[in-house]
Each structure stands twice: as structure tokens, then as C-alpha cells.
């Protein structure tokens, strides 16, 4: 049975942890989906596998191109696509247009937008009213890297209260889940207890309703990982070994 947004909320109630990862093409998406990942995110973090330094340069057309490939590989997981920087912040109309393109052109079930400040709450409420499922994202929001860097957020009392109230406002605006990125486990626990919708943590401790990581970090494909990532296998090394072996065999006429 394909995973739905309602299913995620049920899993929170049942205390069944939600497993989420990112994907950027058909092959990766198919492997993750077949492995039973619950939520597959076409994150704008795929900027790293495209060779960008930050998530800022990626365009909506690039996201759509990759999301279509991911869609062809996803059978069961709920598929969510990030709206990239400045394709939704300008106005409600711009957000509606971008989110509409994602749903209509890729077949994804939902979009994710960063931020919980008042104007973004208004935008998200309008998308939800129009029938577009939205995932929220607060704490470290990498599209704001030039303002806040990549450090942990919510370090002061004031800041952690702001993040908690943003999460509450997002739930009221109608998001079906919220990514909590790089905040303390304690703050993430408070938010998780306060909300009826699931929290999906990344660098936000063990008390979230689910966890997400960037797949290129998990697989050891990224050149560097954030401090909260766990590298489960080193594909850079594996690929290099295979290529070395192939090169030797070609040069020594052992292959074919």
C-alpha cells in the first residue's frame, strides 16, 4: 500500500518511527523504495550531487527534471519535493505556481517549503487550502545560509521559543509533517510532544517521530558531511576501487 500523509500521522500516534531519505534519480529512488523507506524527499540538497556549493543556485526546472526520474522509481514511499530558493518566497501566487508545477508535472504527492515566519505561514495556509499537501521545515533552513550559516539553531531561550511557535503555526496552517533541522534534542522533544503531526528530525535528536538524512551523506558519496550525519558505507571508496581494477584490466588487456 502506498504511504499517504494520513498514514504518517497514524504512525506518530502508534509511535512507529518514520524512515525518510533523499533521492535525486531513478536508480537511487528505486533502491530506497524497494528497501522500505517511508518517505522519499527530492531535497534541494541534491545541489551537492550536481556540484553546487550551496542549495541556493538550484532551479525549479532542475528540481522537476530530477523529481520526474525519482517518481519513476518510487512505488510505495510518500514522495515530497523541495521548492528551491526564491521559487515560493516572493508571493502566494509564485508559491502556488511552483507547487502546482511540482504536483502536476512530476506526480509527487507533496512539496516542502522552508520557514515558519508569518508571511510563509500565510503562503503555506493558502497552498493547503488549494489542496496541496505541504511539509514544513524549521530550525536550520539552509536556503538562509548567508544569514544564519549552518550552525545549530535555537541556542538562546528567545530563539528556541520562536522555533517552537513557528512549528505550532505551521501545524495550524495545515502542514502534514515538519522537518526539524539541527536543533537540540530537548527542543525537538518539546515540539514533538506539542504537535499532533509528525516531526522528522535531521540533527535534532532521538525524540522526533522520524528521521531523515541526505542519502549522498549516508552512502559516503558527499565530499563532506554535516556533523549530525552518519556515514553507513563509503561508496566513494567502493567506486574508486572498482574503477582502479577496471583500469588495470583494460591496460593489461585482461578485460574483456
> Residues in the site for ligand KIV, rule: CB under 6 A?
22, 41, 43-45, 82, 179, 202, 212, 214
CA 60 to each of CA 52, 92, 97, 123, 159: distance values in angstroms, whole numbers, following the listed order: 15, 16, 11, 18, 31
Closer residue to ligand KIV (CB): 41 or 78: 41
**Residue 254: Cβ-neighbour burial (10 angstroms; 0-12, 13-18, 19+):** exposed
C-alpha cell at 69: 526520474
CA 38 to each of CA 25, 73, 204: distance values in angstroms, whole numbers, following the listed order: 17, 14, 19
Output DSSP code: residue 153.
Answer: B
Question: Is residue 38 a known part of a binding site?
Answer: no
Q: Determine the residue with CB nearest Na ion.
A: 43
Contact flag: residue 166 with Na ion (CB under 5 A): no
Binding track over 21-60 against Na ion, x by CB under 5 A: ----------------------xx----------------
Closer residue to ligand KIV (CB): 28 or 214: 214
What is the Cα–Cα distance from 70 to 25, expressed in whole angstroms? 5
Stretch that binds Na ion, among 76-84, 92-100, 167-175, 208-216 (CB under 5 A): 76-84
Question: Is residue 217 a known part of a binding site?
Answer: no
User: Which among ligand KIV, Na ion, none contacts residue 179 (Cβ within 5 to 8 A by kind)?
Assistant: ligand KIV
What is the Cα–Cα distance from 147 to 163, expressed in whole angstroms? 16
Which residue(s) pair with 138 in the sheet?
180
Question: Is residue 209 a known part of a binding site?
Answer: no
Min dist CB 85 to ligand KIV, Å, is 11
Residue in 126, 82, 132 with CA at minimum distance from that of residue 104:
132
Contact flag: residue 181 with Na ion (CB under 5 A): no
Q: Using an 8 Å Cβ cutoff, are 55 and 142 in contact?
A: yes
Q: How many CA atoms lie within 13 A of 58 on its CB side?
A: 29
User: Which among ligand KIV, Na ion, none contacts residue 33 (Cβ within 5 to 8 A by kind)?
Assistant: none
Min dist CB 202 to Na ion, Å, is 9
Active-site residue flag, 53: no
Task: Give first-to-last CA distance, the chain, whole Å.
Answer: 44
Min dist CB 41 to ligand KIV, Å, is 6
Catalytic residue, candidates 166, 181, 237, 249: 181
Closer residue to Na ion (CB): 141 or 190: 141
C-alpha cell at 96: 502556488
Contact flag: residue 217 with Na ion (CB under 5 A): no
User: Which among ligand KIV, Na ion, none contacts residue 188 (Cβ within 5 to 8 A by kind)?
Assistant: none
Site residues (vs Na ion, CB under 5 A)? 43-44, 82
Residues that are catalytic: 181
Residue stretches of the annotated binding site for 3-methyl-2-oxobutanoate: 44-45, 82, 112
Amino acid at each position: 500500500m502506498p504511504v499517504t500523509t494520513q498514514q504518517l500521522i497514524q504512525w506518530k500516534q502508534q509511535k512507529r518511527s518514520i524512515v525518510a531519505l533523499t533521492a535525486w534519480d531513478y536508480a537511487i529512488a528505486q533502491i530506497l523504495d524497494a528497501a522500505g523507506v517511508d518517505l522519499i524527499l527530492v531535497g534541494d540538497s541534491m545541489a551537492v550531487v550536481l556540484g553546487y556549493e550551496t542549495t541556493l543556485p538550484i532551479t525549479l526546472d532542475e528540481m522537476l527534471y530530477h523529481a520526474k526520474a525519482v517518481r519513476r522509481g518510487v512505488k510505495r514511499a510518500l514522495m515530497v519535493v523541495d521548492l528551491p530558493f526564491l521559487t515560493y518566497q516572493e508571493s502566494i501566487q509564485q508559491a502556488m505556481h511552483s507547487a502546482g508545477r511540482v504536483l502536476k508535472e512530476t506526480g509527487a504527492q507533496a512539496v516542502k517549503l522552508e520557514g515558519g515566519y508569518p508571511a510563509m505561514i500565510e503562503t503555506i495556509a493558502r497552498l493547503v487550502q488549494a489542496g496541496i499537501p505541504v511539509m514544513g521545515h524549521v530550525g536550520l533552513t539552509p536556503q538562509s545560509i548567508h544569514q544564519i550559516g549552518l550552525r545549530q539553531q535555537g541556542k538562546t531561550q528567545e530563539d528556541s521559543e520562536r522555533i517552537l511557535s513557528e512549528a505550532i503555526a505551521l501545524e495550524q496552517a495545515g502542514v502534514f509533517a515538519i522537518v526539524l533541522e539541527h536543533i537540540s534534542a530537548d527542543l525537538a522533544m518539546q515540539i514533538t510532544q506539542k504537535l499532533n503531526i509528525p516531526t522528522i528530525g535531521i540533527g535534532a535528536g532521538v525524540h522526533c517521530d522520524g528521521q531523515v538524512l541526505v542519502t549522498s551523506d549516508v552512502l559516503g558519496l558527499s565530499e563532506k558531511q554535516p556533523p549530525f550525519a552518519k556515514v553507513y558505507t563509503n561508496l566513494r571508496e567502493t567506486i574508486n576501487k572498482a574503477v582502479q581494477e577496471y583500469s588495470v584490466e583494460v591496460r593489461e588487456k585482461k578485460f574483456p
